[in-house]
Chains A and B, each alone.
Chain A
């Protein structure tokens, strides 16, 4: 998942990274580095761009049974269900799927409610002492609103 997000270092803002076509402004996530998917696109360069930090819940569900590999989980440990949430990003006009932050369940994610992206743990390799980072979605307090102004598609070229 190299280049799918940025800002998991100290002091940085965590953001998903997509690519945006300079010809038609279409945004792709996960990043598309080969070709713009718009059939009517005049042609353009695909440039890395951070996605909106906030969105609204399109829908959500959970996984009550352990998914098969290549999902990484410890078969010796009891299965802890995770929540999946599909999030609508207003500026990009797209939906991005992700796991909800630990402890967040479907009851916390009504369709249309505001969520924000935060770093999360994909899996830990105890032997190599490494933690693989991923993105999680978590509810935003109601007064914060679905989208802060001027996030995306502001940044030209953006975070790299």
Chain B
């Protein structure tokens, strides 16, 4: 396929709370990806940095910051901000450059040192920023929105807090097998139920933490990979970065009100579902082709919603899949084999890249104890503030 780009290398910095700056983490991940690819940094023609705004000024200029940390060598440079989808848009930018012939080899890096506790908007008095407003006027934290979605599922579909806990139990079991995960201990349903309530019905162990972390990829054209003797690389076949469509009727971070559906009938397809559909269309694949999926389990309940949005089951059927073990390691379609954000925590610009790192190791058959047997096709899905979101499909 002419639209494919090859994943030559993948690398990460272990996630946790390490007390260092994001540049240090990003450098480690970049070096690991370059070593994995067998590529010298001076050979890289372009570097794309996924950035965080919340992390402060250096985060605004991530591409050049990472390039400097690796040593200036004159590469093309790009910095990309798309909230929690920054990493995927960085991958998309790299892919576009390769397919356009602007670079043979592109290094994609995302890294963050996240503050402890709730994410909060940048400082100052900024009433023109919806993210600032939702905190100032309502105290509406990210978990508050996750709580709204979870309760809505309980009312509509009969999901229970016990169903939500099963997601955490499943992801913690997978994360325990991943050396890069922050949390590497199995968790029981009882432990979830005993953890503090944060945003009813979601408890502390239903919601992902904030973390430090970094992930990087070395991408290149198929011809370049062949010249390097890599005849059968993991290939990125689709990167979807579509916007929502008007009217958007599901309340989403950081909004206080939805669009009104008075003038235009809303699409029956959710924004999240449209992200996956656009990727499937681009890849010429469908949910039935998947070996595994990595989705943003910002909360346990949200992971169940993703099952439906990426087409693993119909609306309201998500809890049935986790109850049946379908999405666990060993199940028909493992979701978050990496351990997910439940095991990693959020390192905003890195996490969408980390998802593709996991697909890469799985499709190479190098995922160790959490290997999905015979993995051939994987999808990632993520969503960030302000109508950003993306899905990546990788194949082997």
Contacts and interface: CB of A to CB of B under 8 A. Distances in A.
Contacts of A24: 262-264
Contacts of B198: 64-65
Interface stretch (A6-14, A37-45, A140-148): A37-45
Contacts of B247: 26, 38, 93-94
B144 A63 contact: yes
B18 interface: no
A69 B122 CA distance: 10
B257 A61 contact: no
B258 A68 contact: no
A96 interface: yes
Nearest to B117: A68
Contacts of A124: none
Interface range for B: 35 or more
A64 B152 contact: no
Contacts of B135: 67-71
Contact of B140 (A72, A84, A94): A84
Contacts of A94: 247, 249, 257-262
B120 A27 contact: no
A149 to B, nearest CB: 17
Interface in B134-154: 134-141, 144, 147-152
Interface residues of A, number: 48
Nearest to B148: A59
Contacts of A104: none
A122 B148 CA distance: 21
Interface string B332-346: 000000000000000
Contact of A58 (B202, B251, B255): B251
A1 B247 CA distance: 24
A97 B257 contact: yes
B35 interface: no
A60 B246 contact: no
B194 interface: no
B179 interface: no
Nearest to B155: A111
A52 B312 CA distance: 39
A69 B250 CA distance: 26
Given A63-B144, A84-B144, A95-B251, A26 B200 contact: no
A106 B200 contact: yes
A157 interface: no
Contact of B263 (A38, A67, A84): A38
A97 B260 contact: no
Nearest to B152: A59
Interface in A69-111: 69-73, 82, 84, 86, 92-99, 106, 110-111
A62 B201 CA distance: 9
Contacts of A73: 139
Contacts of B147: 61-62, 84
Contacts of B144: 61, 63, 84
Contact of A29 (B200, B201, B256, B262): B256
Contacts of A29: 256-257
A1 B257 contact: no
| Most chain B beta carbons < 10 A, residue from A28, A40, A86 | A86
Query: Which of A37, A39, A73, A97 gathers most chain B CB within 10 Å?
Result: A97
A71 B147 CA distance: 19
B196 interface: yes
Interface of B: 117-118, 120-121, 125, 127, 132-141, 144, 147-152, 155-156, 196-202, 246-247, 249-251, 255-264
Given A84-B147, A93-B262, A94-B247, 15 more contacts: A26-B247, A26-B264, A28-B257, A30-B257, A38-B246, A41-B263, A61-B200, A68-B117, A68-B120, A84-B144, A95-B249, A97-B140, A97-B255, A111-B155, A134-B137
9 contacts: A38-B246, A40-B246, A58-B251, A61-B148, A67-B120, A94-B262, A97-B256, A99-B138, A111-B155
